[in-house]
Every structure is written in structure tokens, then in C-alpha cells.
Chain A
């Protein structure tokens, strides 16, 4: 197997008395597509927030590309090569589509304030290159929309794409996607699946939190299942489907949605095993 890129060991975070993440351990390998699933409240997003520095873990270590990043500032972690999207879109609403994507390139554009004030050749070169690159990433995610419009004028599905383009413009080695399919219709989900494959094709590791099991089973090389802040299973989609602990975790949950999901997983785990994306 290829090299370990992200190594999370015994990570924990508490909010008051609630242990949102409680001794979580898992690894992500270079270029791998990994899904993190689990019932609502299992600590998936909290784990993402710990890895990306938005929460300070109360215990454990996070190592990325061989360097410890535990408790570092989000900007430092992002600059080291982890990009993310947010569960609820977090775009720069008043700014143009292009500007949103340029945010991802911020740390790479070489320009100081004098360049900007005097419009030096370096400024023009840098800005032109950034614009060209922003267009390239928007082409990559397949955005077919006026790119000079304020982002909040775009339909929801398009905004999702721009958020991914913005994260890709960071040129990450690992991309964390927090429920990218939420609120998308079937057609858009199919496009998202294709997009995730293209991203994996660039050699970027993709870590996905997602509730759409069809999508998860289709795209993941490996799945980590969380429950109550711990990993309870880790394996290939086929292995996860038939894992009794996973089915138990979903059925044991009091959440109705989780029940429905568990039933779906059970159905998908039936003989034959090949699943199709629901689209």
C-alpha cells in the first residue's frame, strides 16, 4: 500500500461533558479515496474540525505528511496541504466566482503591497496567472456559469462546485469533503461522483463524509465507520456492508434517519453486492 499521508491517533475532543471525538484512530494513504460514515452525532464533522485545526483536540496526535499538525492554526494546516469544504457552504457571498477560487491560491501568489499599489509587472503576471488558474479549476469542476457574477447569485449546486474548485485551487495533497452531496439532485450527484474520480485521478487523497450510501459505496476505496466518537470498523466497502458492528451501530441509534440508512445498507449488503449510484 502507498505511503501514509494522514495519521490520526487517539484523537479526542470534548465539549463540556460531551466527548464528541473519543480516541479516534485512522489513517489516510496517499491518493486514496476514503469515506467516513456513521450515525448523526458520531463525531465525523468534529473529527474534520480537529484535523483542520478549527477545534483544538484535547488529546491524541494528528500527523500529516510526516509532520505533527495537532493543535496548529487552521491557516498553517491548510498551507501544509489539507483543503476542506464545509458542511454548510462557506463561500465568500459578496465576491465573484473567480475571487472565491482565487482564495485557494492566496498563499501561492507572490505579491507584496508595493506590487499591488504600483501595479508592477510582477503584479500583472501574478494576477493574470491566478485568473487563468481560477478558470482552469472552474473548468475542471465543470462550472458553466458567469464567473464574474457574485457567488451568491449562483444556484446551490453550482455553489457546491465552486467550493470544491476553491479547495482544489489550494493544490492540496488531501481534500476533506464534508457532505458534498447534501442538497444535490440525482443528476448533480452523478456529476459529483465523476468529479471525485477526476480529483482522485490527480493523485489527491479524498476524505469524504457522506450520508448517501450509494455514493459512498461507489466511490470509496476504504470506509471508516464512526460511532460515539470512535472508529468501530475500517475496511473495503464490501467488508463494511456485512460488518455486524456497523449494522448494530446504525440500528442501535435512536435516530430515525439512521434506521433508514441501516436498512438501506442491509439491503445493499445482500447477495450480489454490486451497488449502483442512485441516479
Chain B
């Protein structure tokens, strides 16, 4: 059995090598005959290297390590501040990716959960003097409650209807925060404490907390997407009726996606509150929801590396374009349009594939 499978793997590998070689020979032949530019040459080579890196087991740990090492490379206040913003944005994008990318539910009001998280922890820490870390269970509960409240009526709807209703709810949450005295009205909340200094410079301490939380969030979101529930999300995205016919309760599955997204958004809100120390309703306007969605679409819906890349691009590009002064948002917009024209499927699109299990190829032996 084992020998058989290794044999098969060997065969596959040699077949692949053969195919590659053949392609190379064809290209050489084409070039030799002077037939135009050997266009197919570029595609296969790009197709071999980029997914190779992306499929590597070490990609995730490598990026996480780089994120954790940043303060050693450059610890200026400016860089740390931008990096924390970017990491929080990554977490939001990864959370929204569960809803939009995995489950195919277009949510235009994702900033609502971000607001719920930020306000819950902000209120508890400023009004009642809770340490920020202690607010996390309450934030999770509030995010779940918010998900139930918004998802309950809306998830029975499909596609466009869902998008419109979530857009409405996103605004409702923001306007409610704006109109309640309890939440500080238009002034919002200020003086939100951080997680503590751990004997470090306070912004660097927060950076590391954020980096660890966001790395774990990316890891967990990706794993969730590959497990039983994650598969169910994709079944629902691909064909709701067929999923039902397999005994999958699609309403519950969509709910689970929505609530998982809400929890990620809520926790990102806590980090945001700690980072900003002051929050107010305009921090959670529709532009946020749109930008997070943009990050997911730009990166590649349903692809964890893609969404991380998309979020980094969306959050860092305006900073990198600072040199362009007043033109920078124009250039930013143009770059996004160009990116979507040339890579409509996203920077690093999700590809159907099977999880690699460290060489252990399980195979049934019925035949």
C-alpha cells in the first residue's frame, strides 16, 4: 500500500518533470524557428515559481516571523504606528474573507462589528475601569450577539438583498453610536488604555501584542477554512441547493460564517481601540467597510495569503505614496483599477487544491 503510493507519487513527479521538459523543448523549437515571441514560456515559469512559494509550508511562519521582527529592523514611531494600522487591517480583511471569500455572502457593513468591538472594550475600560484584556470575552459575546441580531433576519436573503441590508445595518450601528450619550455621542470615547507596557516602549509593546494576535487570527482563519465547517462554507458558496441536498443546513452554515467574521471584526476593534486610544463614530463609516472588502477582492477572495497581501497593499500603499502629496489618493485609486483590470481574480487567487499532509497520502483500497 505504502510502496504503491510512493510509486504513484514518483510517477506523478516524473510525469510532471517530463511535461515541463517537453514544454521547454517546444519553446526552444519555437524560438529556433523564429516564431514570434515564445509567449507560453513566461506563463509556465511564473506558474512554477509563485505558487511554489505560496504553497510552501514555510510561507506562513516566515511572514509571521518577519512581522514579529519588525521592531528590530526599524523601530521609529512612524513605522510602528503604520505597521499596527496595517496589521489591524489584515485582521479585518481575514475576518471579512470568511464571510465574503469562503461563504460567498456579500457583506457591505462589516465595519459594524469592528465598531461593536471597539466600543464594547472602550466603554468597559473607560467607564468601568476594566483592564483591556478583561474586555475580550465581553467583546466576543457582543460580536456574537451582533452577528445573531444582524444575521438572523438577513441571512435568509440571497446575494444583492443581503448586501443592501448589511449596508444598512453597518450605518445603523454607526449612527446609533453617534446619537447615544452613553457612547459619547459624536465625540466618542477617549483615554482608552493599552494592554500594558511589559517594560517596553508602549507603542512597541502594543505592536507585539497586535502582531501575535493578528498572526494567530490569520492562522486560525485559514485553518477554519480548510476544516469541516470551512468546506461547508465553500459548498454553500458554490451551490446552496446541492449543499442542502447533502444534508448541510445552509442557514446555520451561513450563520456560522457571519458570526466567525463578527468575532474577528470585534477583536480587531479591541486592537484598534487600544491603538487609537480614542474612537468616534466616523472611524467606522462606510469607507472602512468598502476598503476592507476592497482588500479581500484585490487579494483574491477565499485565499488567505491573497487577502493578507491585499490588506497590506490597501493599508500601506497610501503611506508609500506620500511622496505624491495631494495626488496620492488619485494614484492609489488608479493603481487599484489597474490591478483589477490585470488581475480580476485577485493578486494571489485561491486555487482548488488538496491540503498536503506531510507525505502521508491516504488512499482507500477498494479497487
Contact = CB atoms under 8 A, between A and B. Distances in A.
A99 B239 contact: no
Among A78, A94, A106, A148, find the residue whose CB has the most chain B CB atoms closer than 10 A: A106
A224 interface: no
Interface string A121-134: 00100111001111
A95 B227 contact: no
A115 B229 CA distance: 11
A220 interface: no
Given A75-B247, A103-B248, A135-B362, A98 B354 contact: yes
Contacts of B230: 116
Given A79-B247, A94-B238, A99-B234, A116 B362 contact: no
A83 to B, nearest CB: 7
A141 to B, nearest CB: 10
Given A96-B352, A139-B364, A111 B242 contact: no
A135 B363 contact: yes
B241 interface: yes
B250 interface: yes
B124 interface: no
Contacts of B353: 96, 148
A119 interface: yes
Interface string B225-259: 01111111011001101111111111000001000
A125 B238 CA distance: 26
B26 interface: no
B352 A107 contact: no
Interface stretch (A85-93, A228-236, A252-260): A85-93
A23 interface: no
Contacts of A167: 245
Given A79-B247, A116-B228, A74 B362 contact: no
B212 to A, nearest CB: 15
B223 interface: yes
B244 A103 contact: no
Nearest to A116: B227
B224 interface: yes
A98 B256 CA distance: 23
B220 interface: yes
Interface in A127-183: 127-128, 131-136, 139-140, 148-150, 166-167, 170
A90 B362 contact: no
A116 B221 CA distance: 10
Among B228, B351, B354, B363, find the residue whose CB has the most chain A CB atoms closer than 10 A: B228
A84 interface: yes
B216 to A, nearest CB: 9
Nearest to B236: A92
B362 A113 contact: no
Contacts of A126: 228
A95 B239 CA distance: 11
B234 A95 contact: yes
A102 B228 CA distance: 9
B366 interface: yes
B229 A78 contact: no
A74 B354 contact: no
A86 B246 CA distance: 12
A99 B223 contact: no
A113 B250 CA distance: 16
B367 interface: yes
Given A75-B247, A128-B362, A135-B363, A103 B229 contact: no
Contact of A116 (B224, B235, B360): B224
Contacts of B248: 75, 103, 106-107
Contacts of B354: 96, 98-99, 148
Contacts of B360: 128
B366 A123 contact: no
Given A91-B239, A94-B238, A113-B229, A78 B244 contact: yes
Contacts of A106: 228, 231-232, 235, 246-248
Contact of B238 (A53, A75, A79, A95): A95
Contacts of B260: 113
Interface in B343-360: 351-355, 357, 360
A166 B248 CA distance: 13
A179 B181 CA distance: 64
A18 interface: no
A139 B224 contact: no
A52 interface: yes
Contacts of B244: 53-54, 73-75, 78
Given A54-B241, A113-B224, A150-B352, A166 B246 contact: yes
Given A78-B247, A106-B247, A117-B220, A93 B238 contact: yes
A170 B238 contact: no
Contacts of B228: 106, 109, 111, 116, 126
7 contacts: A54-B244, A78-B244, A78-B246, A92-B234, A92-B243, A96-B353, A150-B351
Interface of B: 220, 223-224, 226-232, 234-235, 238-239, 241-250, 256, 260, 351-355, 357, 360, 362-367
3 nearest interchain CB pairs? A116-B227, A136-B364, A92-B238
Given A90-B241, A98-B354, A104-B246, 6 more contacts: A54-B241, A90-B245, A103-B235, A103-B242, A106-B231, A126-B228
